[in-house]
Each structure stands twice: as structure tokens, then as C-alpha cells.
Amino acid sequence: MSSEILINITPMESRVALVENGVLQEVGVERTLHRGLVGNIYKGKVARVLPGMQAAFVNIGLEKAGFIHVDDILTPLINCEPSDAGDIRLYLREGQSVVVQVIKDPISTKGARLSTQLSVSSRFLVYMPDVAHIGISQRIEDETERERLRGALEVALSGNEGTGGYIIRTAAEGVEAGELAKDVQFLNRLWGHINETSRQLSAPSVVYEDLPLYLRAMRDMALPVVEKVRVDSGEAHGKLCDFAAQFNPEMVPMIECYSEDRPLFYLYGVEDEISRALEKKVPLKSGGYLVIEQTEAMTTVDVNTGAFVGHRNLEETIFKTNLEAASTIARQLRLRNLGGIIIIDFIDMQDLEHRRQVLRALEKALSRDRAKTTLASVSELGLVQMTRKRTSESLGQLLCEACPVCDGKGSLKSAETICYEILREILREARAFECSAFLVLAAPVVIDRLLDEDSAYVADLEGFVGRTIQFRVESMYSRDQYDIIPV
């Protein structure tokens, strides 16, 4: 499978797209004014301790205070019994300075999720100064290769005076011991700089900021199958080449500065794909379709056969639609960066073997996802439950905002409903105010209905309250917006 990384740089934002076999698989967007915070290290001040939630709010200098749970704190302030280890008051107190790292970006009304379990990353390793452990990415499945990498890292650490633990990243598969040794030296120097900076700063302050999006893409996305990296900025091209020369020299020849007239993201229809990724409905090649709904609590995916009628029987039609949907769902989760709890409602299948095959197809498609996913079996209701690690806002949350008309509900009250509300409100105000008439200001569609279909109700109400009712169209009003003025 061949892959390309496309990097679009503008003063307002940076965008990175991962294209596999000509099809967009992942897209990342980083706004200049709203850079992602995951990986940043801050010296913060504890603003509030919440014993009931076993958590605390920490002021790290952002608009919203960060949130830290007791499970994300390494050591208590004082020695305590194991039975008391879950009490947040033994770990933090109000006004205390604490060095924390962002593990989840602020989302909606929630502040950043924080941890005192700090780590910094390089091309092949993640360094964790507060633990003594060597771990290996689960995506490296070959046991011989895992043992070779563990041995190579232990050799690299044998002459190292520093302490701490390491995780060997997926990108390290097949690399020489010397490359791991270089990463160890780099991470030790970086951690020394972070330590010194945190001692000198007062809270709240930024101690360390992670790399910008396009450099993180080189570090995290540059898999062995990547054949080319195209970037449309000369300045960013120079930084990418310098970064690659330091951490991944074999990629330097792959980095290309794109200078054609046609915008880079139009090469593989990336712009169109991004627009389609913001829609609820996703068409399938067979004629079926998916409906993807993202809510605060979870994301739901509904599979429908649509216009696909198959060639043999209903069970075959359902099976083929579900198989196609499985691969499409995995791609859409990556493309839209959907995380948290995900419920997939495949079309009901009677054949148990068909269910197993669809589930295996979904597992295989999800195996290419860099985010951690956990997949459960089909439930009694025929639903597939899964989770996908969420560290930042989804594409929809990043690029869109709630509709100011419906306030994000996705629906509006009908004109009929609004008209009846107005008539009830006039009746209420007639009892409360002494006046000779009422003036109703409302949207055109509401006024039209009051003067047409509901005119008989208006006439009856005028007779009942003994006052005239006047109407005025306000073209700037939304459908459910109105005012009733006693005159």
C-alpha cells in the first residue's frame, strides 16, 4: 500500500492529509490561534480540590482550568495507607504548584485533561521520567523483532546515567540500535531542559510545547510505506528537511516542495472529502448508506441498504452491504477523528457466520488506525459497541459550530407550533395587561400562517379578549422568534 502525506500551510492554519492508494484516510487541522495542547507541559496552580469527584481543577494559564483525576497523579504529598491511595486530598491542595501535561484537548465546555505522568516523544521512543519500565508498541507483533528492539534499547541505556522508562514506538520496527541510542540522547537532553525550565518559572506558565502539526505528522505518520511528502510552503519545506535530517534521514529525498498552480489539496480531491466528512450521510458504492450522528455522550453509526437490492436474496444483500460498511466505517472514524463510545447498528443478520465475517472485516479495517480502538462483540440487540481513543476535537467540532437558529438541536419548531404559542401568549398577556391592542412581531412564515390558515383562530381570540391583534413581519427574525407588544 503506497501512501503520501500532503501538507498545506497558510498563515491562518496548517493542514495535513494522509492519502493511501489515492484515497484520503486521515486529515489534521491546526489553527494558528487555536493550536492543539496535547503533549504540552505546564507549571500550574491548583485552583480547587473536589474530594467528591476525587479530582481537582488546575489553572495552567488557559481560559478554562484544566481537570486532573487522582488516577492521573503519580505520588501523594505524604505517605499513606494503600486503602487511602484514592483520596485526592493526599495528592493536591489548593494553591499548590504542580507540573502537569495535557493528555486531552479542551472539548466544548470542558477544560483540558491533565496528568502528572509526564512523557516526551521522539521519532522512535517515548520517554517517561517517573517510571522504570521498557514497553513496546502492540502494533509490533513479531516476537523476534520485539525482543531485538528490547535488547537494542537496553544496550543503548547501559551507558546512560539518566533514569526513567521508555516505550518503543511502532516506527522503530526494523531500525538499528544506533538510531535508538541517538533518540535516547536527544530525549535526555530535552528532559534536562524541561526540568531546568520548570524550576525557573512561576505558575501558571508554559514549560514545553509540542511540535507543530506538520512536524508531528513527520514524526507520527511517516510509516515505511510513505513514498512522498508534499508541502506547499518553502519555509515549512526547509523545517521539514531539517527535522527529517535529524530524526529520519532516509525521508529527506521524499520531501518535495509543491509549487504548481493547482492547490495541493485538490490533487486527490481532499477538499471535497473534507466537506463530505462534515455531513451525516455517507453513501456506499453498492447504493446503501451510513448515517453518522455525533453527540456529547457517544457517536452512533446506522447502516442502511438504500437502493441496493442485491442479486440473489435478502440475506446476501444485507451481508454485502454490512461488509462494505465495515471498511467505510473504519475509514470515516479516522477521517472524522471520532472518539469515545461508538455504537454501530449494522443491518440485522440471521447467519452467525455472516456476523463473524463482518466483525472480522471491521477489526481488520481498524488495525490500520493509529488511535487505540477496542471492539466488543455483537450485542443481543445486534449492535457493535467499540471505543476509539479521543485526544482532540473531532473534525466536525473543529471546523463547525452549533447552528445559531436551532442551537445545535438539528430541528426547529414548525410554523404551526409557533402560531399556537403566540395565541396562548396573547391570551395570557390579555389577563395581565390593560391595553387596547396587541402587536405581534414574527418571521414571515409565521405571520403568513396567522393571516391565512389560522385566521379563524385569531378572529375568535380577538372576540374573546375584546382587543384587536395586529401583525408585523420582521424578516430578520428566525422562525421560533417572536415578540408580543401591548399597545
- Of the candidates 455, 464, 449, 456, the one whose C-alpha atom is nearest the C-alpha of residue 419 is 449
Q: Which residues of 232-250 are buried (b: 16+ CB within 10 A; e: fewer)?
A: bbeebbebbbebbeebbee
What pLDDT does residue 311 have?
A: 57
What pairs with residue 172 in β-bridges?
Answer: none
Classify strands 165-168 and 23-31 as parallel, antiparallel or unpaired. unpaired
Give the whole-angstrom CA distance, residue 129 versus residue 355: 45
Q: Where are the alpha helices (DSSP H) in 159-313?
A: 177-200, 213-220, 234-247, 270-276
R_g of the chain, CA atoms, integer Å: 29
CA–CA distance, 16 with 20 (Å, rounded to integer): 13
Distance CA 338, CA 330 (A): 10
Comma-separated ranges of CATH 3.30.420 domains in the chain: 1-35+212-276
CA separation for the pair 7, 28 (Å, rounded): 10
* pLDDT score at 109: 78
**In whole angstroms, what is the distance from residue 22 CA to residue 313 CA?**
34
Can you tell me whether residue 115 is helix, strand or coil? strand
* Segments of the chain assigned to CATH 2.40.50.140: 41-118
pLDDT at 85: 62
Q: Locate all alpha helices (DSSP H) within 292-414, ordered by sequence.
A: 314-336, 352-366, 395-399
| Distance of alpha carbon 249 from alpha carbon 215, whole angstroms | 14
Q: What angle do CA 219, 225, 228 make, to 5 degrees?
A: 70
Where in the chain is CATH 3.40.1260.20?
415-486
Q: What is the pLDDT of residue 34?
A: 76
Distance CA 347, CA 353 (A): 14
Concatenated DSSP letters of 421-480: HHHHHHHHHHHH---SEEEEEE-HHHHHHHHTTTHHHHHHHHHHHTSEEEEEE-TTS-TT
For the domain spanning 1-35+212-276, the CATH number is 3.30.420
Amino acid at 419: C
Predicted local distance difference test score (pLDDT) of residue 1: 63
Question: What per-residue confidence (pLDDT) applies to 309?
Answer: 59
Predicted confidence pLDDT, tens digits, the chain (487 residues): 678 999 999 989 999 999 988 899 999 998 887 777 888 999 999 999 999 889 999 999 988 899 999 888 887 655 555 555 678 888 888 999 999 999 988 887 788 999 999 999 887 899 998 888 889 988 788 889 899 999 988 888 886 666 788 999 887 888 788 888 888 888 888 888 888 888 888 889 999 988 888 888 877 776 667 889 999 999 999 999 988 887 677 788 999 999 988 899 988 889 999 999 999 999 998 888 999 999 888 999 999 887 655 556 778 888 889 999 999 999 999 999 999 999 999 988 888 898 899 999 999 999 888 788 889 877 877 799 999 988 778 899 888 888 888 777 778 899 999 999 999 999 999 988 889 999 999 999 999 999 999 999 999 999 999 999 999 999 999 888 999 999 8
Query: What does pTM read for this prediction?
Result: 0.72
Q: Residue 93 in contact with residue 57, Cβ under 8 Å? A: no
What is the pLDDT at residue 84? 58
* Cα–Cα distance list, 475 to 268, 310, 453, 486 (Å): 42, 49, 20, 21
Which architecture does CATH list for 415-486?
3-Layer(aba) Sandwich (3.40)
- Report the CATH superfamily, name and number, of domain 41-118: Nucleic acid-binding proteins (2.40.50.140)
* pLDDT reported for residue 79: 56
